[in-house]
Amino acid sequence: MIRIPVYLDYHSTTPVDPRVLEAMLPYFRDRFGNASSRNHEYGWVAEAAVESARTKIAGLIGASAKEIVFTSGATESINLALKGVAENARSRGNHIITVETEHSAVLDTCRHLEKYGYRVTYLPVDATGKIQATQVSDAIAGDTILVSIMAANNEIGTIAPLAEIGRICRSRGVLFHTDATQAVGRIPVEVGLMNIDLMSFSGHKMYGPKGIGALYIRSAHPMIHLSQQMDGGGHERGIRSGTLNVPGAVGMGEAARIARVEMAEETIRIARQRDRLVSGISAQLDDVHVHGHPTDRLPNNANITFAGTTADRLMMDMKDIAVSSGSACSTASPKPSHVLRAIGLHNDEIQASLRFGLGRFTTDEEIEYAIMQVVRTVKAARKRAKGTDRTYVQQVDETRN
């Protein structure tokens, strides 16, 4: 089956799984209670649903339910983790370590903290987008309070060596936060095995609804303390005030339950489709470069530079394929992708790059259709460029240098 436009932008957001929607609907209708209403049935029903969701989410990542705090999304979780720890640990130190290729939610929060006197080290990555655990170890100083490293990159899919980094942080007594928004539900993430202290993730990247997210906060060995960033009614044990998004939490819980059951099988199918997309395109086009790590990568990601084209024009010419150039999260500010720059691409290569993100509802027919559309569109764009000026030839020559 092919659904037009073919959706290949699963890193930006995922559709809500129909089973998730079904689970949520009653909580918009007769089960509309406030989960903190302690005096009647409506409140009890809502609270029970939230606690059941919390247990399912915890189960997916190897945590216990009391270690999950609901937020409005990964951006809020990241802000709460980084600012909350920074504020709480101020007397112990002011140094934070992160990576150049993080999502803007992490980078902008770090820049905010720099304005308030914190010192931030932004570690570089290699040409595959990979960070080595030894870089983290070398960067830790006496005043380091927090290491924040994303589990999997949202543009090029490269996966970080979380377990190794976690081990280093634990042995050096530094807290470890990971932005696992692209990883949770797609690849196994175990907070215990990986010595993760805090972890941010989001409903709408794992077939749940938008507007709900979670922050995992380790409750023992060691117990993590952070300062709340939202003052109010003391919800979520005082860590995140504000009436709970009950349908959202229920939806994220159901999404976590499904991911736990289906992830292993789904990963294999999606990786096969992704490999077919890449080989189908590469077989018919010269000068295509696939980014990210050859093996340590998300199963659903393919970020490809088509030398001699521009992504904006390609996307305009193939409106029935929904992909993204750079990171959709930053399309409000059309700057060249900081991730592609960090792995060493030049501006013209960055502008010639498309990000494909596959997912649960991607079909084999859609992949064949996308291959055909991409090949046809890139060939036409290159022909046009060749006919009108010498840009194509020049750009291809540059990338060979």
Ligand X SMILES: *Cc1c(COP(=O)(O)O)cnc(C)c1O
Catalytic residues: 329
Q: What does the DSSP assignment read for 305-338? A: EETTS-HHHHHHH-TTEE-BSS-GGGTTS-PPPH
Q: Put residue 59 in one of left, alpha, beta given phi > 0 → left and psi -120 to 50 → alpha.
A: alpha
Q: Is 277 in the site for ligand X (CB under 6 A)?
A: no
Using CB under 6 A as the binding criterion, the count of chain residues that bind ligand X stands at 14
- Name the segment binding ligand X (CB under 6 A); options: 90-98, 161-169, 179-187, 308-316: 179-187
Q: Is 355 in the site for ligand X (CB under 6 A)?
A: no
Q: Which is nearer to ligand X, 75 or 144 (CB)?
A: 75
Q: Is 179 in the site for ligand X (CB under 6 A)?
A: yes
Q: How far apart are CA 125 and CA 281, in angstroms?
A: 27
Q: Is 103 in the site for ligand X (CB under 6 A)?
A: yes
The three-state (H, E, C) secondary structure of 333-355, written as one string = CCCCCHHHHHCCCCHHHHCCEEE
Q: Among residues 182, 303, 377, 395, which is the contact residue for ligand X, using CB under 6 A?
A: 182
* CB of residue 204 to ligand X, shortest distance in Å: 6
* CB of residue 68 to ligand X, shortest distance in Å: 15
131 three-class SS: coil
Tokens 């504020």 belong to which residue?
A: 87
Q: Which is nearer to ligand X, 194 or 281 (CB)?
A: 194
How many C-beta neighbours within 10 Å does residue 280 have?
17
Q: Is 205 in the site for ligand X (CB under 6 A)?
A: yes
Q: Which is nearer to ligand X, 54 or 382 (CB)?
A: 54
Q: Among residues 166, 213, 251, 357, which is the contact residue for ligand X, using CB under 6 A?
A: 213
Tokens 């339910």 belong to which residue?
A: 65
- Residue 72 CB contacts under 8 Å (≥ 6 apart), including other chains: 211, 212, 213, 245
Q: Which is nearer to ligand X, 279 or 331 (CB)?
A: 331
Q: Is 105 in the site for ligand X (CB under 6 A)?
A: yes
Q: Is 301 in the site for ligand X (CB under 6 A)?
A: no
Q: Is 154 in the site for ligand X (CB under 6 A)?
A: yes
Q: Is 150 in the site for ligand X (CB under 6 A)?
A: yes
Residue type, 233: G
Residue type, 232: G
- Name the segment binding ligand X (CB under 6 A); options: 164-172, 176-184, 241-249, 336-344: 176-184
- CA torsion sign for 158, 10, 21, 366 is negative
**Cα-flanking dihedrals φ and ψ of residue 27, to 5°?**
-85, -5
349 Cα distance to chain centroid:
23
57-86 residues near ligand X, rule: CB under 6 A: 73-75
CB 129 within 8 A of CB 149: no
Q: How far apart are CA 394 and CA 396, in angstroms?
A: 6
* CB of residue 153 to ligand X, shortest distance in Å: 7
Q: Is 240 in the site for ligand X (CB under 6 A)?
A: no
Q: Is 236 in the site for ligand X (CB under 6 A)?
A: no
Q: Is 202 in the site for ligand X (CB under 6 A)?
A: yes
Site residues for ligand X per CB under 6 A: 73-75, 103, 105, 150, 154, 179, 181-182, 202, 205, 213, 329
